[in-house]
Amino acid sequence: MSFSKRLELISSMVQSGSKVCDVGTDHGYLPAFLYKMGKCESICATDIRKKPLDRAKKNLEAFNASGVELYLCDGLDAISREMADTVIIAGIGGEVISGIIERAGFLKDFTVTLILQPTTGADRLRQYLADNGFVVVCEKAIEDNRKLYSVMKCHFGGVAYPIDDVRKTVGLITPCYDDGREYIKKQYNIAKKRADELKDTGKNTECYIKSRAIEYGLKKLLDTEGNNGV
Ligand SMILES: C[S@@+](CC[C@H](N)C(=O)[O-])C[C@H]1O[C@@H](n2cnc3c(N)ncnc32)[C@H](O)[C@@H]1O
């Protein structure tokens, strides 16, 4: 089975013996791969749309992964704590992911693991997790098909915590490996460009100072933890 580096990284974060639910499964590749690996006690998957779910059903049959249960629902609406101790939400925007977490009360359980991979708005997702007491225990960047993604593993910790702008931008990603360094460099370039543009217009001083501070913070991170800098 051909499998993307992104989905491989996500699968590697799943602990053996887990009961997994893959939210927004689309093609169903992730549950099919996990099923083939044989590392999960049970696997279910959801999608908000029927068409992707039909596609997942077909693919799962083709991969002989018939033990995967599929549910047509918004987020985790059809899923209970008994059905999943590990929830994967990948390939969806950070704000939608926050909304799905917000609605699923059973995720506020120290023993439930969340594996999240936002397509956009990773910074807003990190802010949501901090504000709502979800602790990120591990976060890795991965380059796949010339795009950079962040994958975070977290669980409910019960206590909200502060998060500064630099951490909001790159989370726990470090420049100690190629994809991590590239992820931070990309965010550094975005912050620098924004600060330079704001400086030229001479407007919005607060936003300018914030962008420059992120730029310098990321430069420091690259210089102190990585070898190549920017
Ligand atoms: C780009 S695909 C990602 C597929 C797969 N998770 C991956 O990472 O490769 C996004 C899928 O999420 C589904 N989706 C979007 N919002 C959802 C929600 N609130 N609940 C369940 N599924 C959702 C979409 O219908 C679509 O099939």
Cα–Cα distance for residue pair 62/101, rounded to 1 Å? 31
Ligand 1 site residues, Cβ closer than 6 angstroms:
23-26, 46-49, 52, 74-75, 90-92, 96, 100
Q: Across 106-169, where does the E strand assignment appear?
A: 113-118, 134-144, 147-156
Q: What is the mean pLDDT of residues 183-202?
A: 94
> Tell me, what's the pLDDT at 161?
98
Residue type present at position 49: R
What is the CA(1)–ligand 1 centre distance, in A? 21
**In the chain, what percentage of residues exceed pLDDT 90?**
91
Report the residue among 46, 55, 92 best suited for mutation to probe ligand 1: largest number of ligand atoms under 8 A from its CB: 92
What is the CA(184)–ligand 1 centre distance, in A? 26
| Distance between start and end Cα atoms, the chain | 37
Which residues, listed in sequence order, are joined to residue 92 by a DSSP beta bridge? Answer: 118
Which residues, listed in sequence order, are joined to residue 217 by a DSSP beta bridge? Answer: none
**Which pLDDT tens digit goes with each residue over 84-97?**
999 999 999 999 99
Report the residue among 10, 46, 49, 55 best suited for mutation to probe ligand 1: largest number of ligand atoms under 8 A from its CB: 49
Q: What is the pTM of this model?
A: 0.96
Cα–Cα distance for residue pair 67/34, rounded to 1 Å? 11
Sign of CA dihedral 123, 27, 44, 146: negative
Whether the predicted pLDDT of 209 surpasses 60? yes
Residue nearest to atom 20 of ligand 1 (CA): 75
What is the CA(24)–ligand 1 centre distance, in A? 3
What is the CA(130)–ligand 1 centre distance, in A? 23
Domain 5-163 fold: Rossmann fold (3.40.50)
Which residues, listed in sequence order, are joined to residue 89 by a DSSP beta bridge? Answer: 23, 116
- Close Cβ partners of 68 (under 8 Å, ≥ 6 residues apart): 28, 31, 32, 35, 43, 44, 45, 60
Integer CA distances (angstroms), 162 to 13, 76, 123, 166, 197, in order: 25, 27, 13, 12, 29
Whether the predicted pLDDT of 155 surpasses 60? yes
Cα–Cα distance for residue pair 208/164, rounded to 1 Å? 16
Residue nearest to atom 1 of ligand 1 (CA): 91
Q: What are phi and psi of 66, to 5 degrees?
A: -75, -10
> Tell me, what's the pLDDT at 202?
78
Q: Across 81-179, where does the E strand assignment appear?
A: 86-92, 113-118, 134-144, 147-156
